[in-house]
């Protein structure tokens, strides 16, 4: 076999393959150049539209989208070029699965573009409208400072964010529907629909808390002034509690704080019921009742301490009444303690049992002391009666 006959099949195969290889190489080079040009064109177009600037307006953290979008388009173009190269080379066995995947992906590109355009347009519209509403609502920030919300809370920004949600969420739902990908869009759309349906409830709960806050501030300010005018701040000293609470203690301010706490606690419960969080609202309602019982019990203890000290003071004015005054004081304190604990609802059975046993012990002690102490006098009286009976008989 000659050398030419040995190389002839190889050369024929190479000769038939070379045009395809050269064509594929040319397609690859031109495709890379065109993909780079497309990347630059997309980046230039997005830069002209100022996408990053529009998205990051009034944002603390910067979000860059122009570069990632241009890079995504670049690699998408390269994938298309790669498929063309494989097609030119005639590698159909490898090309078929990739071609099917690419065709399926390309079929979704119009949906992706439509969803992106709808979402971006909705975002821009929501930002513009919410910014206008927020600027118009700047005046309520003065009101927030007057009612004591502080400088860190801005009602105008809150209104602006709510308006943004009201506009953007429905548009986002439409954008997801435009994808026509039920596996992705259906769960996301359902979640957004639930959020959209809950927004009125959230606003209602916020209005409830705001109304309770305003009314509570007004009521508490009036109550504090009233208590100051009637001399409530001097009451702890009269009750003998000055060593405990201190000289700078203000009963009127404490009462106002407690009343405001209970008002806002009630507001939170009402807001939770508005949001259909019944279980949490029920638990907080029980805590509110318990808190009221504790406050009532503490009030009873304070008043009881006042009367105990008053009784001790009055009884101590007499001669040799120190022991009796001390007994009366501690007896009143014990009685008031039992009543206070019972009002708090703390161990009712134990309190009743202890109080009953204490009264029983006191009664037995009095009976024994009277019986033992009056035994001699009773004996003399009985002897007198018997002697008189003998004389008469």
Radius of gyration of the chain (CA): 44
Q: What is the pLDDT of residue 204?
A: 85
Q: Which two tokens stand for residue 359?
A: 């009264």
Q: What is the pLDDT of residue 159?
A: 80
Closest CA to 272 of 288, 295, 258, 294: 288
Burial class (CB in 10 A: 0-12, 13-18, 19+), 308: buried
Per-position DSSP letters for 183-205, written without gaps between them: HHHHHHHHHHHHHHHHHHHHHHH
Burial class (CB in 10 A: 0-12, 13-18, 19+), 5: exposed
Structure pTM?
Answer: 0.52
Rounded-to-integer distance, Cα 391 and Cα 381, Å:
16
List CB contacts of 370: < 8 A, sequence separation 6 or more. none
Reading the chain (393 residues) residue by residue, the pLDDT tens digits are 444 555 555 545 555 557 777 877 888 888 889 988 988 888 888 788 777 776 666 666 666 777 888 888 888 888 888 877 877 777 766 666 766 776 777 777 788 888 888 888 888 888 888 888 888 777 776 766 666 665 666 777 878 888 888 888 888 878 877 777 676 667 777 777 777 777 788 888 888 888 888 888 888 889 888 888 888 777 777 766 666 666 777 888 888 888 898 898 889 988 888 888 888 888 888 888 888 888 888 888 878 877 888 777 877 776 666 777 777 778 788 778 878 877 777 656 666 666 666 666 666 655 655 555 555 655 666 666 667 666 665
Contact 137, 155 (CB under 8 A): yes
Q: Which two tokens stand for residue 318?
A: 């007499």
State whether the Cα torsion 182-183-184-186 is positive or negative: positive
Q: What is the pLDDT of residue 60?
A: 60
Rounded-to-integer distance, Cα 257 and Cα 361, Å:
43
Contact 5, 52 (CB under 8 A): no
Q: What is the pLDDT of residue 254?
A: 84
State whether the Cα torsion 64-70-75-80 is positive or negative: positive
Rounded-to-integer distance, Cα 232 and Cα 216, Å:
20
Q: How far is CA 330 from the centre of its chain?
A: 47
Closest CA to 123 of 181, 184, 170, 159: 170
Rounded-to-integer distance, Cα 296 and Cα 220, Å:
19
Rounded-to-integer distance, Cα 188 and Cα 172, Å:
10
**Could you say which DSSP state residue 321 is in?**
-
Q: What is the pLDDT of residue 366?
A: 55
Whose tokens are 């490898």? That residue is 94
Closest CA to 196 of 188, 185, 207, 206: 188
Closest CA to 171 of 149, 189, 146: 189
List CB contacts of 49: < 8 A, sequence separation 6 or more. none
Closest CA to 217 of 150, 139, 306, 164: 150
């Amino acid at each position: 076999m000659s050398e030419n006959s040995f190389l002839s099949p190889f050369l024929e195969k190479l000769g038939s393959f070379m045009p395809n290889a050269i064509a594929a190489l040319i397609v690859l080079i031109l495709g890379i150049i065109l993909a780079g040009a497309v990347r630059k064109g997309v980046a230039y177009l997005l830069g002209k539209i100022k996408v990053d600037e529009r998205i990051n307006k009034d944002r603390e953290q910067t979000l860059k989208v122009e570069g990632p979008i241009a890079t995504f388009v670049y690699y998408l173009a390269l994938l298309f070029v790669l498929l063309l190269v494989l097609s030119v080379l005639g590698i159909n066995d490898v090309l078929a699965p990739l071609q099917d995947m690419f065709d399926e992906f390309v079929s979704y590109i119009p949906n992706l573009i439509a969803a992106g355009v709808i979402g971006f347009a909705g975002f821009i519209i929501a930002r513009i409208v919410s910014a206008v509403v927020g600027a118009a609502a700047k005046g309520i920030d003065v009101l927030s400072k007057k009612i004591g919300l502080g400088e860190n809370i801005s009602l105008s920004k809150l209104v602006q964010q709510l308006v943004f949600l009201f506009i953007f969420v429905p548009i986002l739902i439409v954008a997801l529907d435009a994808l026509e990908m039920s596996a992705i869009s259906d769960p996301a759309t359902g979640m957004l629909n639930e959020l959209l349906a809950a927004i009125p409830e959230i606003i209602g709960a916020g209005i409830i808390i705001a109304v309770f806050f305003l009314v509570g501030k007004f009521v508490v300010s009036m109550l504090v002034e009233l208590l100051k005018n009637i001399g409530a701040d001097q009451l702890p000293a009269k009750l003998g509690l000055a060593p405990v609470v201190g000289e700078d203690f203000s009963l009127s301010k404490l009462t106002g704080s407690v009343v405001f706490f209970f008002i806002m606690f009630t507001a939170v419960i009402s807001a939770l019921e508005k949001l259909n969080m019944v279980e949490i609202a029920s638990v907080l309602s029980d805590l509110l009742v318990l808190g009221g019982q504790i406050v009532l019990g503490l009030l009873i203890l304070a008043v009881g301490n006042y009367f105990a000290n008053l009784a001790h003071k009055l009884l101590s004015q007499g001669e040799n009444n120190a022991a009796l005054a001390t007994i009366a004081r501690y007896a009143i304190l014990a009685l008031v303690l039992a009543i206070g604990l019972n009002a708090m609802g703390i161990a009712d059975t134990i309190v009743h049992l202890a109080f009953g046993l204490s009264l029983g012990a006191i009664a037995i002690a009095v009976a024994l002391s009277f019986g033992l102490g009056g035994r001699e006098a009773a004996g003399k009286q009985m002897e007198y009666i018997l002697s008189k009976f003998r004389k008469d008989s």
